[in-house]
Amino acid sequence: MKTFPKKLQEKINQRKGQNMLRQLGIKHDLIDFSSNDYLGFSKSKLIFDMTHHYLESHNLHRNGSTGSRLLSGNYEFYNEVEAMLSEFHNCESALMFNSGYDANVGFFSSVPQRGDIILYDEFIHASIRDGITMSHAKSYKFKHNDLENLEQLISRHSERVSESYQEIYIVTESVFSMDGDSPDLVSLMNISKKYNAFVVIDEAHATGVFGENGEGLIQELKLENEVFARLITFGKALGSHGAAILGSKELTKYLINFARSFIYTTALPPHTLMTLKSVYMELPKTHENSKLQKNISYFKSEVIKNKIQHYFIDSDSAIQCCLILGNNHVKAISNQLLKKGFDVKPILSPTVLEGKERLRFCLHSFNSKREIDEVLKLLETLIKHDRHI
């Protein structure tokens, strides 16, 4: 039997030499400033008990869905939960996928057609990039949150598009996962109407965080009727698993027929569906979103108090990033925080651009003011005594 392929080993060795090699970690009992569990729902006993009671009361003792939704896996609770999602997020239709990655790959590999134009923010999520790569449409990136650059690209392509059945798709995120910032969504919608373009918004890090009941930033801004498609995920603030694409009934019908990541995969199990039902029943009643917003404001005020604000990317979301140049350097700072009991992940290149490495603080409703105080004071001390920063 042959040993491991040399070309693959060379790539691993190259990653090691650049201090870029990813490794799976083991969860420790640390103060959480790293998970996407913004509302603490993944650990909610209330949601767990609601789900268990619902499954028991309906005599649902099934571990799996048994097949894809087009075969044996489309049990009745899918329709119930998707109808609930449509009502909660004020859209015509919702179609669930097994993950945000599956949803983005399924959408972008099937919806934009040959000859169409996809214009996407340069910092867009990797799952969207992968879906675009699988598409037959032509794609061009615009500078991060730069609507002037976006409009220049649209102008360059709009004349040719208007003379045929070709379409323009504008793609961005309402909250960016690596920076925590947001585009000017109102202005972006105005540009899309001016050029008759379709807008697609990834709301993965806005769902559960923004909006009166966690509906997302698009609904908070009352823009849901101007967006062609929204992606929401359930594995972040909602503490479960899976995703959904929100849009028109025709879009759902199309995706069922042409999105391969939907067609050719085993459906989510009943327990996941019932967990989501419990989560959405709890969202309008919970105070966790209010606690999270207070923690975001407090964190930002303490950053200023410790005089380290010029290291941070401006963000009003649960994601707060401190720029620290270099993979070795940002990992060293992260390890120092780890030794003091704080789980703050370093984000390395090539995940972000070289020279834009950072510590990524994920804030939660359950973080205490004392925890925020201590981690920022420690960060300030580490920065102050580090001559490389």
pLDDT for the residue 277: 96
313 and 256 both lie in a single domain = no
Residue 112 within any structural domain of the chain? yes
CB atoms within 10 A of CB 82: 19
Q: What's the rounded mean pLDDT across residues 221-233? A: 98
* The pLDDT of residue 267 is above 80: yes
Calpha distance 16→22 (Å, rounded): 9
359 and 278 both lie in a single domain = no
251 and 339 both lie in a single domain = no
Looking at residue 123, which CATH number applies to its domain? Answer: 3.40.640.10
Rounded to 10 deg, the angle between the 369-384 and 327-339 helix axes is 130
Calpha distance 380→60 (Å, rounded): 52
Residue 316 within any structural domain of the chain? yes
291 and 344 both lie in a single domain = yes
Residue 337 within any structural domain of the chain? yes
Residue 262, φ and ψ in degrees, nearest 5 = -90, -45
- Give the end of a domain, one of 282, 313, 336: 282
CA distance to 133, 153, 160, per residue, from 156 (Å) = 21, 5, 9
Sign for the CA dihedral angle at 216, 217, 223, 228 comes to negative
113 and 222 both lie in a single domain = yes
Looking at residue 35, which CATH number applies to its domain? Answer: 3.90.1150.10
340 and 359 both lie in a single domain = yes
Residues contacting residue 45 through CB under 8 Å, at least 6 positions apart:
none
Give 141-182 pLDDT, tens digit per residue.
Answer: 999 999 999 999 999 887 665 555 689 999 999 999 999 999
Give 58-109 pLDDT, tens digit per residue.
Answer: 888 889 899 999 999 998 889 999 999 999 999 999 999 999 999 999 999 9
229 and 323 both lie in a single domain = no
**Domain region containing 229:** 62-282
Residue 13 within any structural domain of the chain? no
Give the chain's domain count.
2
Q: What's this model's pTM, rounded to 2 decimal places?
A: 0.93
113 and 201 both lie in a single domain = yes
125 and 217 both lie in a single domain = yes
205 and 112 both lie in a single domain = yes
241 and 330 both lie in a single domain = no
